[in-house]
Chain A
Amino acid sequence: MTVGLDYNRIIDVLPEDLASGAVAFEAHGLVIQPEVLTGIAAFLKTEPGLELDYLCSITGVDCTEYFEVDYLLYSLKLNHRFTLKVRLADRSEPVIPSLTGLWLGAELQEREIYDLLGITFSGHPEMKRIFLWEGFSGHPLRKDYGHGH
């Protein structure tokens, strides 16, 4: 069984400067500030006992007041998982640090979120559209995009 890690266990071991970036815990993950995302992800990836070394999935969601990006991490060795959530309040130009430096697996998934939701991942080697063509206007998965017909 892949065990979902308890957020208290993570908070206890996080270094002070990173733990201060944690905003809240909700049923499915730890909500953190975008500034500490790379730091916390790198810590979770390498910390003995956590070793969340596999970035399973990234989901981008338009929650109307803010954008949310969910990172689902696994430890293949210790068979547990943990979710990080980052909320971006700026709807006009949402920017979030890219995790491609830590996981190659983030590359295509971040491009997909950029394409469909218009969230820019700073530090991504190739931040451009992936499914839609260059010159397409708008980002279809945004709630204010409409349904097109």
Chain B
Amino acid sequence: MAINTEPVFLNLGPVHPSTHGVFRMRALVDGEVITDIEPVFGYLHRGIEKLAESKSYRQFLPLTDRLDYVSSMNNNMAYVMAVEKLAGIEVPPRAEYIRVIMAELQRIIAHLLAIGSFFNDMGTFFTPFFYMFIQKEKITDLFEMVCGQRLLYNYMRFGGLSHDLPPEFIPALNRFLEEMPSEIKKYERLLAENEIVLARSKNVGVLPREMAINASAAGPVLRASGVKWDIRKDDPYSVYDRFEFDVPTGASGDCYDRYRVRLEELTQSLEIIRQAVAGLPKGKVLNPVPLRLRPPAGEVYSHIEGNKGELGFHVISDGSDKPYRIHVRAPSFINLTALRNMLIGWKLADAIIIFGSIDICLGEVDR
């Protein structure tokens, strides 16, 4: 009996539980093995860069929250820093320290979500995710104290911050800092040596060092491939040069390394927050800036280490009160460049894990 087999076209998404948003992949599978794959973008394209051109600099600020909506603080920070550089606006030291605290808390949230959903993809359905969510919720409460919002904070302003910290913030933050290390140990005990986790993520979806650099990967994806590149260290912005912390890297660039790098970055972020709280200066948090800001004509590229990699804003001004052009260097989007190379040859079930380990946010991919 002769059985003829032929490749099958399979559509994944745009609405699919493991795509973390509206992302679509057109896969060609030979049995279970992926022979070719085409990512399809654009289901969440809102034209944010185009919208920027019809808004004032200040009006664009809330839109940055909506790029990567689990890292609003970092998006705010990247954008206000770009405009401050363009317009030559000074920021009070207290505001810089608070910005760093917020950015690192946001990084913890984003990494917890990344780790939690990574295990979801692996089949440990929602149990680890809720362990992460308990801690994420506490940070969300902290953010609510400072700005009243729980997702899209819009907390930073040109020249500082919208509000100073309320009196109850620091005690609550200290409580969080105290209990978080034992929580991280709990994640380790629960997951790190788990047989299934190791079998499904070790040596799966390897992104070699050369390809990571060649494909412009950034953030934890780049570091997991063994490249020690962190903008907080290599091109320090704000007050990051005043803090001691390590840059964790991986060895082989597989899914497990990407997960490990994120897990270790949690500890480093806590370390930065502790130092920032200890050194928090007194004083005002906002320098006066004209409501209708008109930066001088020119251009600037300013970048920060976002949760998913280098988050850059290329802002071009023509001297008017509206930006001439704003381009966002979106790490989620550019990290997907290597996706095709990482998926071909793997089984469909592994593809879900590999894709999850890159950790993208569609709001930022499609903009």
Q: Interface digits, B216-236 against A, CB 8 Å rule (1 contact, 0 not)?
A: 110000000001010100111
- In the bound complex, residues from chain B placing their C-beta under 8 Å from that of A130 are 41-42
A28: nearest residue on chain B (CB-CB)?
A: B299
Known pairs A59-B314, A76-B227 / 7 extra A-B pairs, C-beta < 8 Å: A27-B298, A28-B301, A61-B327, A105-B334, A131-B367, A132-B42, A147-B53
B325 contacts A61, CB within 8 Å?
A: yes
What's the least CB distance linking A17 to chain B, in Å? Answer: 26
* A-binding residues in B (CB < 8 A): 41-42, 45, 47, 49-50, 53-54, 211, 213-217, 227, 229, 231, 234-236, 298-301, 303, 310, 312, 314, 316, 324-325, 327, 329, 333-334, 336-338, 341, 366-367
A2 to B232, CA, bound (A): 11
A139 to B244, CA, bound (A): 47
Beta-carbon contacts under 8 Å, A91-108 to B: 103-108
A108 contacts B336, CB within 8 Å?
A: yes
A61 to B336, CA, bound (A): 23
- In the bound complex, residues from chain A placing their C-beta under 8 Å from that of B301 are 28, 57, 72, 83
A27: nearest residue on chain B (CB-CB)?
A: B298
A-B pairs, top 8 by smallest CB distance, nearest first, are A105-B216, A2-B235, A131-B42, A131-B45, A57-B329, A59-B327, A104-B215, A59-B314
A83 to B300, CA, bound (A): 12
Known: A57-B301, A105-B216, A147-B54. A1 touches B334 (CB 8 A): no
A1 to B217, CA, bound (A): 20
A72 to B300, CA, bound (A): 12
A1 contacts B236, CB within 8 Å?
A: yes
B215 contacts A70, CB within 8 Å?
A: no
Is residue A34 within 8 Å, beta carbon to beta carbon, of the partner chain? no
A60 to B214, CA, bound (A): 21
A55: nearest residue on chain B (CB-CB)?
A: B216
A111: nearest residue on chain B (CB-CB)?
A: B41
B235 contacts A1, CB within 8 Å?
A: yes
A116 to B116, CA, bound (A): 35
A79 contacts B234, CB within 8 Å?
A: yes
Name 6 interchain pairs, CB-CB below 8 A, sorted by A: A76-B227, A105-B214, A105-B334, A109-B216, A109-B334, A132-B42
Is residue A21 within 8 Å, beta carbon to beta carbon, of the partner chain? no
What's the least CB distance linking A124 to chain B, in Å? Answer: 13
B326: nearest residue on chain A (CB-CB)?
A: A59
A105 contacts B215, CB within 8 Å?
A: yes
Known: A1-B235, A1-B236, A140-B50. A103 touches B42 (CB 8 A): no
A108 to B38, CA, bound (A): 12
What's the least CB distance linking B219 to chain A, in Å? Answer: 12
